[in-house]
Each structure stands twice: as structure tokens, then as C-alpha cells.
């Protein structure tokens, strides 16, 4: 808190920094609630398992530095855990160690153990501080946009309660959100604000991309496709005077994109067919409730066809589920009720987007000229499909959709600048 206050004092000349300290306290507060919930109320979970794995890695470093660095770069297996760990170091939770994506979180968090002395609470707050800073950079990126009210831009990027809760503690979701926000901030700083590419940007992009590849590789697809479309649109604008070249590029791009999506969907279908968890989505509720590995309220999209065509048919219901569920009557806990209320507010914004925007065709024409809004809706649709289709549990869904929450709020709250001015004049 002192560190953040010092940063605030150094930026007194910048008016938007009046939100910096409240935003950081908001993030740290929800991180504290997250830690208390999992340690004192639930008695443990993924977050404490990640922490335990990090602590065991810390013990391993002091026992054998070479074994520690070997663990940091190798894929965990039943052989490596017996070779590197022992009774003196302790053993990381087997269900975390057995999943390379999950144990990667422990590896990253283990770097914090050397300055937090293995404290779970200190590591939680440090994780929250990091993602708080990336959220602030995202706010600095969007704060000057004229197509949305300033207070909405601030709330969407800094003060969404479910995002602050699920993505502030020691969790995979926290690292994913921080990596995603880093990539978006750098990409659009280069595209829209004409900042020059530097070694710092290269290093941050590499780290963020590597994190997403190790933890949720499909996030790279959800980010890459919209940015590729934006870049393609820029190229098309520059060659409109050459119809032959224009349609050739469009054809090749469509062909490559379609082929890539079909291959990816087929790969996804094969993975689904081999996944015991996702097969549970097609099982009746009673059978799912008996699965001890997955607890909490569930939902069923009714999907039984896992071919590429079957997956494509499930896109609309998957996206609607990710955007607006859980509904109020599906919220069985305080945290799900909070998410349900956010869903209601998003639904209100959606209705306003279509029915209070004047000429809807002109509004969509305006959106096409705003590259950030194009990215926001495309990214939200793609990630919404992944989240809604693969989660199966509302608690998982709320965490998976956290990265697009700020973007979809901004998108549905957007108006043409002159429309905002008309509304302001009417109120005056």
C-alpha cells in the first residue's frame, strides 16, 4: 500500500491518477477476500495447492539448486517427482504436479517465495499487485477513447467485482489475465497510439505469450485472430485502388483462416473425445453430481455431437451462456449472485446497444472504424465460445470469461461521440 501511494504521489500532475490508489485498494481488498474464502471458509482449493507446490519448490532450491532449476524447465512426471523431491523438501500436491499447466503456476509463484518467505497471504497480495498494475495499464490505454463515457471505461477496466475476486489471488486465472492485458496494452499502444516498438515491449510480449502458451494456449488463438483481421483490414484499405490484388488477398486470407479453424476444431474435437471432464457435459445431472473431482453448480448445453459441425452449431448457445449466465435463479452462492448481477447489467447494456443507439446500421458502421471495438467484440465472441462450451461448471465459467468482461462492457456501452454529446446536452 505504501508502494502504491508513492507511485500515486509521483503522478499528482496527471488527473486520471486520482483513480490509481482506489483501484489498487479495490484489487488488494478482493485478493484478501479471495484468500480468506479459500483458507478459512472452503478449507483449501486450487489456490492453496499452487501455493503448496511453490513452497515445496522453494524448499527444493535450498536443498538442491540444480534440481530446482531442472524442475523449472522440465515437464513434471511421476519419475521427476521421485528424483528431485524428498522427505526433507516435501512433495507438491500430486494432482497439481500431474498437470503441467497447473504446476507451471506453482513454478512462477515459487519466484515470489524468496521475497515473501513462503507466506500465502504475502504471495496473494503480490500476485494481486501485479495484475492490478496490468489492469491500470489497460485503463490508461482506453481512458482517452471518446466513444464511451469516462466512468464506464474506468469501471470496466478497474472495478468489476468478479474479475477482481477470481483474478487477484494465487491462481492460473490471475496470471492469464495479467498476460492477456499486457499483450492488449502493447498491441494497441503500437496500433493506435503509434508508440515505437522497443526491447521492453518485445520482452513483455515474449513473457506474456509464453505464459499463455503454457497455461491456456487457446488464448493465443482468441487474441491472434482478431488482431490478424484488424491488420488485414488495414492492408485492404491501403490497396483498395487495386481490385485484383485486393480480392486475391481476401481470398487467400479467407482460405487460410478457414483451413486453420477447421484443423483447430478437429483437434479440439479429438481432445474432447479423450477428456473425461468434457464428456461429463453430455451426462445427466445426477451422474455429474456424483463426480467428486468437479463440485459446484453445473450447466448443460445439451451438446452431444463433438464433430466440427456439431461444435459450430453450439456456438450461439455457448456465447450466450458465457455472456449472461449464471442467471439470478441459478446463483447458489454469494459469488455467483455477484456474477449474475453483472450478467443482468450486461444484458441491459446489450439491449441499449441495439435499441438506444439511433440508426443501428450507422452505429455498426462507426464500430467498424474503431479497431479496439472490433477487437473487443471478436475476442469476446471467440473466448465466450471457448468458455461457455468447455466449462460445464458456473464457478469455472466465471473465471474463464474474466478476460473479456472489461472489453464486452466497453463494446456494448459504446456510442458515436456525437451521440454522447447529444445525451449530455439533453441532460443539461
Can you give the pLDDT at residue 415? 84
Mean pLDDT of 101-114: 94
**168-195, pLDDT tens digit by residue?**
889 999 999 999 999 999 999 998 887 8
23 lies in the same domain as 170: yes
Residue 405 in any domain: the answer is yes
Residues 194 and 188: their CA atoms lie apart, in Å, by 9
Measured CA to CA in angstroms, residue 316 lies from 35, 95, 263 at distances of 35, 34, 20
Can you give the pLDDT at residue 165? 93
138 lies in the same domain as 283: no
* pLDDT class of 253 with cuts at 50, 70, 90: low
* pLDDT class of 218 with cuts at 50, 70, 90: confident
Can you give the pLDDT at residue 75? 87
Residue 241 in any domain: the answer is no
CA atoms within 13 Å, Cβ hemisphere of 163? 24
Residue that the C-alpha cell 478476460 belongs to? 403
**How many helices and strands in the chain, by DSSP H and E?**
25, 0
Query: CB under 8 Å to 124, separation ≥6 — which residues?
Result: 31, 32, 34, 35, 47, 168, 169, 170
Residue 291 in any domain: the answer is yes
192 lies in the same domain as 279: no
Which of the listed residues 191, 216, 241 is the one where a domain comes to its end? 216
317 lies in the same domain as 402: yes
* pLDDT class of 60 with cuts at 50, 70, 90: very high
Residue 295 in any domain: the answer is yes
310 lies in the same domain as 205: no
**How does the average pLDDT of the chain come out, rounded?**
84
**66-105, pLDDT tens digit by residue?**
999 999 998 888 888 888 898 889 999 988 898 888 999 9
Can you give the pLDDT at residue 84? 87
188 lies in the same domain as 320: no
Percentage above 90 pLDDT, the chain: 49
* pLDDT class of 286 with cuts at 50, 70, 90: very low
Can you give the pLDDT at residue 98? 85
What's the number of domains the chain is made of?
2
209 lies in the same domain as 315: no
**Is 292 a residue whose pLDDT tops 50?**
no
C-beta separation of 47 from 38 below 8 A: yes
Can you give the pLDDT at residue 418? 64
Can you give the pLDDT at residue 76? 87
Residue 221 in any domain: the answer is no
Q: Which residues pair with 393 in a beta bridge?
A: 298
Mean pLDDT of 125-152: 94
Mean pLDDT of 136-157: 93
71 lies in the same domain as 202: yes
Residue 349 in any domain: the answer is yes
Residue bearing the bigger pLDDT, 282 or 236: 236
Mean pLDDT of 383-393: 86
Mean pLDDT of 270-275: 50
- Dihedral over Cα of 374, 379, 380, 386: its sign: positive
Which of the listed residues 216, 236, 261 is the one where a domain comes to its end? 216
Residue 243 in any domain: the answer is no
286 lies in the same domain as 426: yes
**Is 137 a residue whose pLDDT tops 60?**
yes
119 lies in the same domain as 53: yes
Residue 249 in any domain: the answer is no
* Parent domain of 418: 274-428
* pLDDT class of 425 with cuts at 50, 70, 90: low
Residues 206 and 415: their CA atoms lie apart, in Å, by 35
26 lies in the same domain as 95: yes
The torsion of the CA quartet 299, 41, 215, 271, rounded to 10 degrees, works out to -30
Amino acid at each position: 500500500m505504501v508502494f502504491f501511494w508513492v507511485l500515486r504521489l509521483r503522478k499528482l500532475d496527471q488527473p486520471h491518477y486520482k483513480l490509481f490508489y482506489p483501484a489498487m485498494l479495490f484489487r488488494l481488498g478482493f485478493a484478501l477476500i479471495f484468500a480468506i474464502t479459500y483458507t478459512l471458509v472452503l478449507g483449501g482449493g486450487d489456490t492453496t495447492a499452487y501455493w503448496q507446490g511453490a513452497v515445496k519448490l522453494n524448499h527444493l532450491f535450498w536443498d538442491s539448486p540444480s534440481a530446482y532449476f531442472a524442475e523449472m524447465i522440465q515437464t513434471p512426471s511421476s519419475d521427476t517427482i521421485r528424483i528431485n523431491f524428498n522427505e526433507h523438501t516435501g512433495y507438491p500436491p500430486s494432482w497439481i504436479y500431474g498437470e503441467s499447466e497447473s504446476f507451471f503456476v506453482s513454478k512462477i509463484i515459487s519466484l515470489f517465495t524468496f521475497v515473501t518467505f513462503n507466506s500465502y497471504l504475502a504471495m496473494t497480495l503480490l500476485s494481486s499487485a501485479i495484475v492490478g498494475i496490468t489492469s491500470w495499464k489497460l485503463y490508461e490505454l482506453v481512458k482517452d477513447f471518446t466513444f464511451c463515457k469516462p466512468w464506464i471505461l474506468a469501471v470496466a477496466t478497474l472495478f468489476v467485482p468478479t474479475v477482481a475476486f477470481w483474478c487477484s489471488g494465487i491462481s492460473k486465472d490471475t496470471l492469464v489475465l495479467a498476460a492477456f492485458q499486457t499483450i492488449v496494452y502493447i498491441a494497441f499502444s503500437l496500433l493506435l497510439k503509434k508508440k515505437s516498438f522497443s526491447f521492453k515491449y518485445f520482452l513483455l510480449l515474449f513473457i506474456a505469450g509464453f505464459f499463455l502458451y503454457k497455461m491456456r494456449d487457446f488464448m493465443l488463438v482468441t487474441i491472434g485472430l482478431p488482431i490478424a483481421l484488424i491488420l488485414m483490414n488495414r492492408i485492404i484499405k491501403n490497396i483498395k485502388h487495386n481490385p485484383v490484388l485486393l480480392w486475391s488477398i481476401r481470398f487467400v486470407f479467407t482460405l487460410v483462416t478457414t483451413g486453420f479453424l477447421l484443423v483447430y476444431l478437429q483437434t479440439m474435437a479429438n481432445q474432447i473425445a479423450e477428456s473425461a471432464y468434457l464428456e461429463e457435459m453430455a451426462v445427466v445431472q445426477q451422474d455429474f453430481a456424483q463426480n467428486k473431482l468437479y463440485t459446484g453448480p453445473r450447466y448443460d448445453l445439451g451438446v452431444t455431437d463433438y464433430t466440427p459441425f456439431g461444435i459450430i452449431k453450439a456456438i450461439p448457445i455457448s456465447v450466450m451462456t458465457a455472456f449472461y449466465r449464471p442467471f439470478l435463479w441459478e446463483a447458489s452462492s454469494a459469488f455467483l449472485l455477484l456474477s449474475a448481477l453483472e450478467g443482468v447489467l450486461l444484458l441491459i447494456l446489450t439491449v441499449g446497444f441495439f435499441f438506444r443507439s439511433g440508426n443501428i446500421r450507422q452505429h455498426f458502421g462507426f464500430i467498424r472504424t474503431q479497431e479496439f471495438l472490433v477487437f473487443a467484440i471478436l475476442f469476446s465472441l471467440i473466448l465466450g465460445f471457448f468458455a461457455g462450451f468447455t466449462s460445464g461448471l458456473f464457478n469455472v465459467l466465471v473465471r474463464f470469461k474474466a478476460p473479456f468482461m472489461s472489453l464486452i462492457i466497453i463494446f456494448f456501452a459504446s456510442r458515436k461521440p456525437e451521440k454522447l454529446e447529444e445525451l449530455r446536452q439533453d441532460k443539461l
